[in-house]
């Protein structure tokens, strides 16, 4: 499902230097599998995720998610790719403060231009909130939710359009231990239930251990751990 082939990525560092975060990185992950990526700070974990989600461009190499190379897409197609194929979960929940929990979950449905069945969407959103344990908080705005609850809404939102790939960047980074574990369990459970390919970038080794495969990003290379 996911393939990286000799991918390189560097960032400017100082006046004339460049920092190489991915160096001829090749990697693959089967559809429906779960993987966690660990590594020291600044090793390029988030960069890898961004490349997989089409949020960034490699300096060299190719990436394939399904049959699509997200780095070669024009903006309109890239948006469609992110909409239909990928679901993002970030460390910061990035919920829209002006929308309720239910509305935040429904937000991805507004991204496309096509007509949608509003009732069906709403039913699914309720279902997702129920799955993440927030059925009774559907009408609450993010300001009235705890950090963990907000992150769970973000998970529900990421799943709204049934993505094939779920990319989670430090999803529990801002949460306390118990909440983080609960969220991690939820994440893997849902992923397994939907046969969604899950890639989690994390410092949390417990979370990392929940994945089927663990990779370490080291010297610009992904190495199975």
Partner 1 sequence: MKIRGLIARSRRHYRRHHLAFAACLALVSAVMTGALLVGDAVRESLAARVEDRMGRIGSVLMTEDRVFEGDLASRLQAVGVAAPILAVEGVVVDPASRLEAPGALILGVDERFWQLSPGGTAPVGFETSGAFANATAMAMLGNPILPSEVVVRMTKPGQLQRDIAAAQTSAFRASDRVSLQGELTRATFGQFGLTTDPATQPVLILPLSRLQEILGLSHQANLLLTDRTATAQWQKALRTEWSLADAGLKLQSLDDGRTELTTGAVFLSPKILAAAESLPFPKQNIYGYFVNEIQGSDDSAPYCVVAGLSEPLPSPLPDQLSPDGVVINRWLADRIEVAPGDSMVWTYYRLGERRALTEETVTLQVQAVVPMEGAAADRTLMPDFPGLADTESCYDWDPGLPVDLDLIQPADEAYWQEHQGTPKAFLTYATAQRLFDNPFGSGTAVRFEAEPGEVAKALRKHLSASEVGLAFRDVRTPAEIATREGLDFGQLFASMSFFLVTAAACLAGLVVSLVLEARMREVGMMRAMGFEFQTIRQIWLREFGGVALAGTVVGVPLGVGFNLAILAGLNRIWQGATGGLRVEFGWSLVSLLTAPLLTLAVALLVVWLRFQARGRTSIISLLTGTSPETRARFVGWLWPAIATIAAVGLLLASAFADRQLQASLFFGAGAALLASWLLLMRTIWRRPPRSGAHRAGTLWLGWRQARRRPGRSLAVVTLLALATFLVVSVGVNRKSPPTDSNDRYSGTGGFGWLAPLSVPLTFNPNDPAALEEFGMLEEEIEALHLTGLRERSGDDASCLNLARAQEPRVLGVPLEAMKNRFRFLDAQAWDGWEALAADLPGNHIPAAVDASTLQWGLGKSLGDTITITAADGLPVTLEIVAVLEDSIFQGSVLISEENFSEAFPDQGGYRWLLGTWMPEGATTTRKLVGQLFRDYGPAIVSTQARLAQFLEVQNTYLAIFEWLGGLGLLLGAVGLGLVTLRNLLERREEFWLLQALGFPQSQQRSLAFVEHAILAGIGILGGGVAGYLPLIAGQLSDLPTGSPGLLGLLLLLVAAAASLAIALAVKMSFQSGGRFDPNGS
Residue 97 lies near partner 1 (rule: CB under 8 A): yes
145-160 burial, b if ≥16 CB within 10 A, otherwise e? beebbbbbbbbbbbbb
Q: Compute the C-alpha angle 208/86/191, nearest 5°.
A: 45
Residues 171, 157 contacting (CB under 8 angstroms): no
Residues in contact with partner 1, total (CB under 8 A)?
Answer: 34
Residues 216, 203 contacting (CB under 8 angstroms): no
From residue 67 to residue 86, the character string flagging contacts with partner 1 as x (rule: CB under 8 A) and all else as - is: --------xx--xxxxxx-x
Query: How many CA atoms within 13 Å lie on the side-chain side of 116?
Result: 16
Closer CB to partner 1, 158 or 184, in the complex: 158
From residue 19 to residue 58, the character string flagging contacts with partner 1 as x (rule: CB under 8 A) and all else as - is: -------------------------------x--x-xx--
Residue 8 lies near partner 1 (rule: CB under 8 A): no
Residue 18 lies near partner 1 (rule: CB under 8 A): no
**By the criterion CB under 8 A, which residues form the site for partner 1?**
50, 53, 55-56, 75-76, 79-84, 86, 88, 90, 92, 94, 96-99, 103, 106-113, 118, 122, 157, 161
């Amino acid at each position: 499902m996911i393939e990286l082939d000799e991918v390189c990525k560097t960032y400017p560092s100082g006046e004339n230097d460049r920092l190489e975060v991915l160096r001829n990185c090749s990697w693959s992950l089967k559809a429906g599998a779960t993987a966690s990526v660990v590594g020291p700070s600044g090793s390029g974990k988030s960069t890898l995720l961004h490349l997989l989600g089409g949020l960034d461009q490699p300096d060299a190499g190719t990436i394939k998610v399904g049959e699509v190379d997200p780095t070669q897409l024009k903006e309109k197609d890239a948006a469609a790719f992110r909409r239909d194929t990928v679901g993002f979960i970030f460390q910061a929940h990035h919920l829209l403060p002006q929308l309720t929990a239910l509305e935040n979950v429904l937000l991805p449905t507004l991204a496309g231009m096509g007509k949608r069945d509003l009732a069906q969407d709403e039913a699914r959103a309720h279902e997702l909130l129920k799955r993440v344990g927030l059925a009774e908080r559907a009408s609450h705005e993010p300001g009235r939710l705890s950090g963990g609850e907000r992150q769970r809404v973000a998970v529900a939102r990421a799943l709204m359009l049934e993505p094939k790939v779920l990319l989670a960047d430090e999803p529990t980074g801002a949460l306390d231990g118990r909440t983080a574990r609960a969220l991690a369990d939820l994440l893997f459970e849902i992923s397994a239930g939907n046969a969604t390919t899950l890639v989690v970038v994390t410092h949390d080794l417990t979370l990392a251990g929940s994945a089927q495969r663990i990779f370490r990003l080291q010297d610009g290379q992904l190495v199975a751990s």
